[in-house]
Amino acid sequence: MKLIKAIILITFLTAANFSCVQDDDFSIPESIGLEENQDLTQLLNQINNGAVDLMTISQVKSFFVNGEVTLIESNIVVKGYVVSSDMTGNFYKEFYMQDEPDNPTAGIKVVLNQVDSYNQFNIGREIYIKLQNLYIGETNSGDGVITIGGSINQYGDEVEEITENMAVSSILRSSNTFDIIPLSLNLSEINDSHIGIFVTAQNAQFSNFLSGLTYVDPYDDYDTQRDLESCVDSGSIKVETSAYASFQDNLLPTEGSGTLSAVVTKSYDGDDRVMMLNSTDDVTFSSSRCDPLFYDNFSGSLNNWHVKSVQGEQGWEITPYGNPAPSAKMSGFSGGSNVNEDWLITTTIDLSSVTTASLTFQSVVRYNGPSLTVHMSPDYNGGDPTSDGNWTELSVTLDTDTDSWSSWTDSGNIDLSSVTGGNVYIAFKYVSTTSGSATYEIDNVLVMGE
């Protein structure tokens, strides 16, 4: 059986560490029922006189130990603002809360044996959870979603629901309901620090390959994930919808782009970061589609490229690694460093219908050698790039951590507007010498325009 780790805090911990909330934040509820009102009044008094420690969501999450469940034995309270709703059935016996209604920094999941809780724990409701005798862990061990629960499973590695009776005394509502202001991010900016937070994905659209499909695949028993892609970079995320959601049969809005606001969390197994909708009212695709002018994630071939070896026996190739795998790779090392000059050049990218355009990609480098350079040409014809085409070197950001394969680096948005109105070719130029041959991988090459 897994170790159950108990957290016991000394009650005279300093107010500076655990009580950063001003007195006027403890407003007394007036319209939530007399008993609950009295219980919260008593709790707020205990917080004010130091008998109970008020902690932030981030501090509570720090108790989590991977693969274990933590029992809270001390008088600790955490405050949060509800950001999920089970009204449409997309959430089940759970809610998420974050630390602030606006500009949140942390979120957490709460599981309870209660359905149709959306009126009691409505979006924006300020709540206080008394953590003594509750648990911190995951509902699916290894999924990466830190959760407050009421018990522990038989294997000791997962938390289970807070019972209804326990919830009455442990989860206290303030009379305050706040407007939740979504944290606005581009898809590439969403990461695991946003789990449990209500986020607006800006400049997003569903993949064009999903046209005619519904939020949930009718053959899925539990949930379906649909790809959401960015209009401004190579970022993407999956939108996960429960097979029990009331909007499961709604067609995906694939004819436009815009914003999608939802709670960031993880798939059941933890393999994918996903967004879960409270309602399709939070999808606002009022702009036209923004399909890329060029995109390649190197899924198995270099068919979208001219591969030109000017010097040396090595050349650009597909490698079974990437961000995610696969990617394009070039190395001049074979039994030692060798002299090479190799170009990887896109096929024609048509910019005739746009007035602005930009390039993004990711790179990773290992070992020492001359730096990769990136170029554009409006008039390349498919020949030797040293004599074919007028090439302009572009200012890009490349990975510089030669000791890691995981330091994938965003190029930044590279302006191509100077060549709009015609065609453009993008080239990655690799050079190695007998004294140095770095290994470069590139992935997710994207050209957007409007």
What are the respective helix, strand and coil percentages of the chain, to the nearest 5? 10, 40, 50
Task: Give φ, ψ of 325 to 5 degrees.
Answer: -60, 150
Tokens encoding 390: 């007028």
d(CA 149, CA 326): 39
The residues pairing with 358 across neighbouring beta strands, listed in sequence order, are 415, 448
Single-letter amino acid, residue 434: T
The reported pLDDT for the residue numbered 235 is 84
Query: Quick one: DSSP state of residue 385?
Result: T
The reported pLDDT for the residue numbered 300 is 85
Tokens encoding 410: 């965003």
The reported pLDDT for the residue numbered 36 is 79
DSSP letters along 283-345, please? EEEEEEP---SEEE--SS--TTEEEEEEESS---EEES-STTS-EEEEE-BSSSB--EEEEEE
Single-letter amino acid, residue 225: Q
The reported pLDDT for the residue numbered 232 is 83
Query: Over its length of 450 residues, how does the chain's per-residue pLDDT go in tens digits?
Result: 444 455 555 443 433 343 333 334 444 444 566 667 889 999 999 999 999 999 999 999 999 999 999 999 999 999 999 999 999 999 999 999 999 999 999 999 999 999 999 999 999 999 999 999 999 999 999 999 999 999 999 999 999 999 999 999 999 999 999 999 999 999 999 999 999 999 999 999 999 889 999 999 999 999 999 999 998 887 899 999 999 999 999 999 999 999 999 999 999 989 899 999 999 999 999 999 999 999 999 998 999 999 999 999 999 999 999 998 999 999 999 999 999 999 999 999 999 999 999 999 999 999 999 999 999 999 999 999 999 999 999 999 999 999 999 999 999 999 999 999 999 999 999 999 999 999 999 999 999 988
d(CA 404, CA 119): 49
Query: Quick one: DSSP state of residue 48?
Result: H
d(CA 283, CA 88): 14
d(CA 391, CA 324): 30
The reported pLDDT for the residue numbered 34 is 66
Single-letter amino acid, residue 159: V
3-state secondary structure of 210: helix
Q: What count of other Cβ atoms lies within 10 Å of the Cβ of residue 164?
A: 11
Single-letter amino acid, residue 50: G
Single-letter amino acid, residue 408: W
d(CA 276, CA 363): 30
**Is there a contact between 273 and 263 (Cβ–Cβ < 8 Å)?**
no
d(CA 208, CA 152): 43
The reported pLDDT for the residue numbered 31 is 55
**Is there a contact between 408 and 364 (Cβ–Cβ < 8 Å)?**
yes
User: Please, which residues have CB within 8 angstroms of residue 430's CB and are 6 or more apart in sequence?
Assistant: 316, 330, 332, 340, 341, 342, 343, 344, 372, 440
Q: Rg for the chain (alpha carbons), in Å?
A: 26
Which of 426, 428, 427, 431 lies closest to 311, judged by CA?
Answer: 431
Q: Which domains, from first to last, does the chain contain?
A: 4-177 (2.40.50), 183-288 (2.40.50.140), 294-449 (2.60.120.260)
d(CA 140, CA 143): 6
Tokens encoding 54: 């008020």
Give the CA angle between residues 224, 226, 228 to the nearest 5°. 155
Length of the chain counted residue by residue: 450
End-to-end CA distance of the chain: give it in Å, rounded.
58
Single-letter amino acid, residue 255: E
Query: Quick one: DSSP state of residue 146?
Result: -
One-letter-per-residue 3-state SS of 225-244: EEEEEECCCCCEEEEEEECC
